[in-house]
Structure 1
Amino acid sequence: MRVVIRLFFRLIRLILTPFMLLAEWLTTPKAISRSAAQQAEIDNACKQLALYQFKACPFCIKVRKEMARLGLNIEKRDAQHNAQYRAELAAQGGKISVPCLRITTGSADATEVQWLYESADIIHYLQQRFGAN
């Protein structure tokens, strides 16, 4: 019985995934307008960030939409299909839960890594750090 239930939910995910991705594509907002110098500065700051995500996770979609709205070029790491990223998330982040934003701070000598879980917390962080004032 357990196998049947598991297969049922996999089938549901298989059917819904294309619709969720299409809805994301259709409803993703345009990025806020910045000067070229401001955008270059933000792009440089985004190099210290990485989003661990699953492609069809609704909470990940929510974070990606906010990233698009803010015009952020943050590296997206697929923790569902890439074993290396999944292992990093488990070993360094402490749990396999997405979305998770990896924030690297500090210099080359002393880097500090913070793992931020929960879509609402990630969105709040991105709005505070990169939002238009």
Structure 2
Amino acid sequence: MASIELYELQGCPFCTKVKSKLDELGLEYDSHMVPSSHAERTEVEEISGQTEVPMIVDPNHGVEGMSESDDIVEYLEETYGSAA
């Protein structure tokens, strides 16, 4: 079972960027599609305090709601990539 959870929006280029990095690193993850309306993203808001996606949760490393695609990609590379 995957430990990383990705909250994403269909067709979101920033979400695609994060998914590409997850796939590149061979990481398993659970994807959660969120509603397009920010007001309906209650699950994302409960986890991270905001409604932006992409957003990841990685309980193995204490990450509880990281957003911003560039930050996520950097985190994944540093934590799971060749630099790890």
TM-score by length of 1: 0.53
1:127 corresponding residue in structure 2? 77
1:79 corresponding residue in structure 2? 34
Q: Give the unaligned 5+ runs of structure 1.
A: 1-43, 107-111
Q: Which fold has the larger relative contact order, with Cα–Cα distance below 8 Å and residues 6 or more apart in sequence?
A: 2
Could you say which structure has the larger radius of gyration?
A: 1
TM superposition shift of 1:86:
2.9
Structure that is richer in strand per residue: 2
Structure that is richer in helix per residue: 1
Structure 2 residue aligned with 1:97, among 38, 49, 52?
52
Q: Report runs of 4+ in structure 1 exceeding 3 Å deviation.
A: none
Q: Give aligned pairs, total.
A: 80
Q: CA-atom RMSD, angstroms? A: 2.3
Q: Give the unaligned 5+ runs of structure 2.
A: none
* Counterpart-to-counterpart distance in 2, 1:129 and 1:76: 19
TM-score by length of 2: 0.80
